[in-house]
Structure formats: C-alpha cells, structure tokens
Amino acid sequence: MDKRFTIFTYGCQMNRYDTETITGYLNQEGYESCDDPARSDLILLNTCSIRDKSEQKVFSQLGRLRKLKRSNPDLKIGVCGCFATREGEGIARKQPDVDLIFGTQNIDKLPELLKGLEGGPTYDVDPLEPEFANLAPIRRNDGLSAYVSIARGCDNFCAFCVVPHTRGPEWSKPSGLIVEEIEAAVGEGFREINLLGQNVNSYGKKVPGELTFGGLLRRLDRIDGLERIRFMTSHPQDCDKDMISAMADCEKVCEHLHLPVQSGSDEVLRRMERGYTVDEYLSKVDLFREQIPDGVLTSDVIIGFPGETDEDFEGTLRVLKKSRYDNIYMFKYSPRPGTKAQSMADQVPEEVKAERFNAVQELQREISGKLHRGLEGGVVEVMVEGPVARKASEDANCGGSGGKLVQISVVSPKFAGRSRGNHRVNFYVEGGNPRPGDVVEVKVLRGALHGLEGISPPGAVVMEEWAT
C-alpha cells in the first residue's frame, strides 16, 4: 500500500514551489498526498526563517504534532526549508520527535534521504551545488498560475536578511531548462507563470553566454499557449532598462513590478547594504512609469531598522508618496541570527516600531484607495478564475464610489479573477459564462482598498446609475 504524507508550507512563493517539487519526489517514491495529518505516515514542515515569528511557528506546530507521534510511533516527522537549513540538527535537539531534517539545497536528494529514514533519524543540510541536468519532478497545485523558479539563492547579503544563509549562493537555472519547464506546465493547462528568484534582475549575469533577465522575458514571451508572465522579486540595484523595456515590449509580461524599497533614508539604505540611494531608486520608478504608463508598482518596507530616526522614517513616508505604490508589504524589523544588523547598536524599541507601522499603514491605505478609485470607469483585462458564491445582499447591484449605486440590468452571475496589474477583480457577467482561464474585459465600477468590482462585457450592462 502507498504511504501517505502531509506537508505544511510556511513563508514565500519560493517555499510553495519547493513544496511542489518535494511532492513530486514523494509521489515518485510511492507516497500519496493526504490532507489529514492523523492518517499520514510522514508529516513535513517546509519552514521559513525570515522573521523571528516565522521560526516560532515551527516549534508551535511541532508541539501540536507530538500527540500524533505518541498515538502513532511509526509516524515520521520531517522539517525542511529555510529554518531547517539555518538551524540544522539543532531542531532535533530541541524537539527529539523530529526524524528527518533537510535543507533547501538538499531537495534533490530526497529519494536517498527517505531510504536513510528507514534506518533511523536522517539529517542533511549540507549545501549542495545544483546540477540542473534535468527537470526535477514537480507536482503543481491546481490552478491557472504555475510557479517556476529561475534562480536559487542570493549573493546580496542585505544586512537584515537571513535568506543568503538559508538558500545559499545564487545559481541561475539554464534558460533552456526554464523553457522546457514552462512548456510542460502549459501542456498541463497552466495559463500563467510566475517566475521566482530573490533577485530576478541578476539572472544569468554570472553565467557566460546565458540570457539576461530581459532576454529571458523576450524568449518566454514566444511560448505558445502561455497567456501571462509575472515575476518576482526585482532588486532595485539591478533593475535596469533591459528589463523594463522587455516588460514594455512583451505582450505576455504583465504590467506589474514589485520593487522593494525597504527604506526611504539614504543612511538606512547604506547600513542595510542595499546598494542604491533614494534618488537612484526613484529614477527606476520614473523609468518604469515612463515606459509603462498604466503599470502597477508594489513594494516591501521595513520599519524600525537599527538606528532608524524619526527623520529617516519621514523619508520612508516621502518615498511612499512619491512612488504611489498600489500596495506594499510592511514588516517590523526582526533581528536575525548571523546577519550584520543583528548586532548593530540602537535597536528601535517595539513601541516606536508599532507607532511607525501604523503611520505607514494609514498613509498606504489612503494611497491604495485613491489609486483604485482612479480605475473606476476604465477597462481592465481579467483572467477568469471561477464563479464567486453570491451573498443575497449582493444580488444585482454593486456599491459604487462616493455613495453611488450601480444597478445591473439582469441578475448576472458573479466571477472572480485577476487583472494584468494583479488586482483581484470580482465582476458580473452578462450573457454566457466564462470558463476558468478565459480572458475577458471588465469595466471597473468600484475600486476598493483590496480589489476591484466591475462588469463584463464593458459596454453591455449598466442600465441606470443614481446617487443615493
């Protein structure tokens, strides 16, 4: 009989991609996926290490799993991912129930590690150079969008960041293999790909003869059957004309750029070792706005990096106003073991971080709200994900801006999807039901903080409009 496994995934898309690869290997070795940990023979935690809280979650979950292990002594518990790489066997010393530990760079050794597990606890977090000889087996989650990692690791060593310690040095996957992987995903029915790398802009730079990131986008744009290309993360230091002009030229590449600024103070950026000044960053934003006028820009911001003064923080608020981000991810600085910033003087007190966090959140809400309201009346291209379960109160109308209501002519079904700019869009459809993966035009009737509402086709539907 097949063995069953459950895998819990924490952290970023890179970890979700790894989970799909781990699942591919486990399926190959005769393990089948199971959603119920109590019925599983193997439970894996694919962990994250980016903030202290991410690591705390791992131990809380291991604590919860202890009961299962007591009732089923044959159950094997494994820890992999970024925290496993950073902490190694230390995890098993703190939690002796753990039977298997492997690092982010040891996934390809999983078949061997599983054999070892039959003989007792097995740990392997030694960094391994990737071979990239063949595609790893991968069992993707259902959906329209497939993750494709284009590079492993990171060489940047930003002073706050644990990633170079958990994912090792940067390795670009050969472009031929990337094309092969995407063609296979398209063959399985995926319509969109999400290229992943810690710093996609440095793709290929260290490999003689390899494409640049812009070149890679241009190559992938020619893949038949693929509808949309997204990518993340762009590093402002390496984001250049090559990439932005490829974004502008390639039809399939969506007009969304995630360009994490981290801070709006030159002094803080210097100590973070980010490799750019505020002005240099803003000149990239200008280039993006110039080349892709309807483009959507998002960012990451760290609040309370050691030594961040009120003035430094004001700089961050200024950058938010100038960049007009559609959305941002905000993080209170969390000291990470082994990083330069951990031992820096002037750690910012928690209450100051909390205050600044609230100020950033408030400003960003105002900016996002305004930008989204600005889309009302326009048309966006949406890839359909599927129908939305309708609440009775929503029947036949959707709230408009400024106290307006827009009446929909028929009781139309409601669907959900994503715009090219990565907005979540809920929309009514008149005449025919679109299928998942279809691309439709939607007129935006309402721009809310977390998404858009509209109607498709854009011209056909609105009967009346009145002020309440």
Site residues, ligand SAH (CB under 6 A): 50-51, 160-161, 163, 198-199, 233, 235, 260, 262, 300, 302, 331, 333-334, 336
Report how far apart, in Å, the C-alpha atoms of 213 and of each of 86, 171, 173, 201, 397 are.
29, 13, 12, 6, 44
Choose from ligand SF4, ligand SAH, ligand F3S, none: what does 336 bind? Cβ within 5-8 Å by kind.
ligand SAH
**Pick 167 or 372: Cβ nearer ligand F3S:** 167
Phi, psi of 153 (to 5 degrees): 70, -175
**Pick 15 or 122: Cβ nearer ligand SAH:** 15
> Which letter does DSSP use for residue 238 in this model?
T
Task: Report the relative pairing of strands 462-467 and 451-456 from DSSP bridges.
Answer: unpaired
**Pick 227 or 238: Cβ nearer ligand SAH:** 238
Choose from ligand SF4, ligand SAH, ligand F3S, none: what does 11 bind? Cβ within 5-8 Å by kind.
ligand F3S
Query: Interface with ligand F3S by CB under 6 A: which range of 161-169, 266-274, 401-409, 415-423?
Result: 161-169
Residue 328 touching ligand SF4 (CB under 6 A): no
Is residue 380 classed as helix, strand or coil in its secondary structure?
strand
Identify which of 438, 421, 117 has the alpha carbon closest to the alpha carbon of residue 257: 421
Contact 200, 166 (CB under 8 A): no
Q: Least distance from C-beta 304 to ligand SAH, angstroms? A: 9
Choose from ligand F3S, ligand SF4, ligand SAH, none: what does 157 bind? Cβ within 5-8 Å by kind.
ligand SF4
The token duo for 101 is 């530990």
Q: Least distance from C-beta 289 to ligand SAH, angstroms? A: 20
Neighbours of 278 (CB within 10 A): 19
Interaction residues for ligand SF4, span 169-228 (CB under 6 A): 198-199
Task: Report the relative pairing of strands 397-399 and 404-408 from DSSP bridges.
Answer: antiparallel
Residue 153 touching ligand F3S (CB under 6 A): no
**Pick 161 or 216: Cβ nearer ligand SF4:** 161
> Which letter does DSSP use for residue 262 in this model?
B
Report how far apart, in Å, the C-alpha atoms of 232 and of each of 76, 236, 256, 385 are.
34, 12, 10, 21
**Pick 29 or 266: Cβ nearer ligand SAH:** 266
Q: Least distance from C-beta 232 to ligand F3S, angstroms? A: 11
Q: Least distance from C-beta 208 to ligand SAH, angstroms? A: 24
Q: Least distance from C-beta 18 to ligand SAH, angstroms? A: 15
**Order of strands across the sheet that contains 145-149:** 145-149, 192-196, 228-232
Residue 82 touching ligand F3S (CB under 6 A): yes
Phi, psi of 2 (to 5 degrees): -65, 150
Residues in CB range of 399: below 8 A, 6 or more apart: 405, 446, 453
**Order of strands across the sheet that contains 327-332:** 256-258, 296-303, 327-332
Q: Least distance from C-beta 235 to ligand SF4, angstroms? A: 5
Residues in CB range of 20: below 8 A, 6 or more apart: 138, 139, 140, 141, 147
Among 4, 76, 167, 372, binds ligand F3S (CB under 6 A): 167
Residue 195 touching ligand F3S (CB under 6 A): no
d(CA 42, CA 20): 16
Query: What would you report as the CA-atom Rg of the chain, rounded to the nearest whole angstrom?
Result: 24
Beta strand segments in 304-403, E: 327-332, 379-387, 397-399
Q: Which residues pair with 192 in a beta bridge?
A: 145, 228
Residue 161 touching ligand SF4 (CB under 6 A): yes
Q: Give the DSSP H/E element, type plus range, for residue 463.
A: strand 462-467
**Pick 9 or 327: Cβ nearer ligand F3S:** 9
Residues in binding contact with ligand F3S, number by CB under 6 A = 13
Residue 163 touching ligand F3S (CB under 6 A): yes
**Pick 82 or 110: Cβ nearer ligand SAH:** 82
Query: Interface with ligand F3S by CB under 6 A: which range of 11-19, 211-219, 299-307, 412-420?
Result: 11-19
Q: Least distance from C-beta 329 to ligand SAH, angstroms? A: 7
Choose from ligand SAH, ligand SF4, ligand F3S, none: what does 82 bind? Cβ within 5-8 Å by kind.
ligand F3S
Among 14, 178, 195, 296, binds ligand F3S (CB under 6 A): 14
Residue 114 touching ligand SF4 (CB under 6 A): no
d(CA 322, CA 256): 17
Residue that is written with structure tokens 């989650």 in the block:
141
Contact 393, 447 (CB under 8 A): no
**Pick 159 or 406: Cβ nearer ligand SAH:** 159
Residue 48 touching ligand F3S (CB under 6 A): yes
Residues in contact with ligand SF4 by CB under 6 A are: 154, 156-158, 161, 163-164, 198-199, 235
- List residues binding ligand F3S (CB under 6 A): 11-12, 14-15, 48-50, 81-82, 162-163, 166-167
